[in-house]
A = this chain, B = another copy of it.
Amino acid sequence: MSDSTLNPAIETAWVYLVRAGEAVVSAVEDDVKAGGAPPLAWYDVVLELSRAGREAGLRQNELERRLLFKQYNLSRLLDRLEEAKYVERKPCPEDGRGYVVTVTAAGRQFQKRVWPIYRAAIARRFEGRLTNKEAAELGRLLKKLTATESGAE
């Protein structure tokens, strides 16, 4: 581990994580744009807010945490979404520093409208490359890799 070589299994996983991550996301984004829809991140935010409930919404910091966005990126993404009228920011009654973000009716419409485009783009990328079983395993492994520090270090 403080050897000058990286475990080959880790190295391969790393290389393909970077490339698959970028290439696959980029391919899906291209499909999505060809379908005239905004970037995937828009969908992620609106979906997460819909799940949280139209009334309840979420605090920005909670959205950040759930979607693993950086603070300043989310801040600006919300500016754009707000400008598009897909979300609203309301001052948080319990914490004067914060905002509660909720999805608007237009946001929900947007979500429903673009989902077929996203779904097709994603499916197109996985089908023919991985079996369902493999996809499940991939998901499991990536989830472990994403997990925050817990027992180990």
Contacts and interface: CB of A to CB of B under 8 A. Distances in A.
A140 B68 CA distance: 25
Identical subunits present? 2
A123 B10 contact: yes
Interface in A83-139: 115-116, 119-120, 122-123, 125-130, 132-139
Interface residues of A, number: 60
B146 A19 contact: yes
A12 B146 contact: no
A13 B138 contact: yes
Interface of A: 1-2, 4-7, 9-26, 40, 67-68, 70, 115-116, 119-120, 122-123, 125-130, 132-147, 149, 151-153
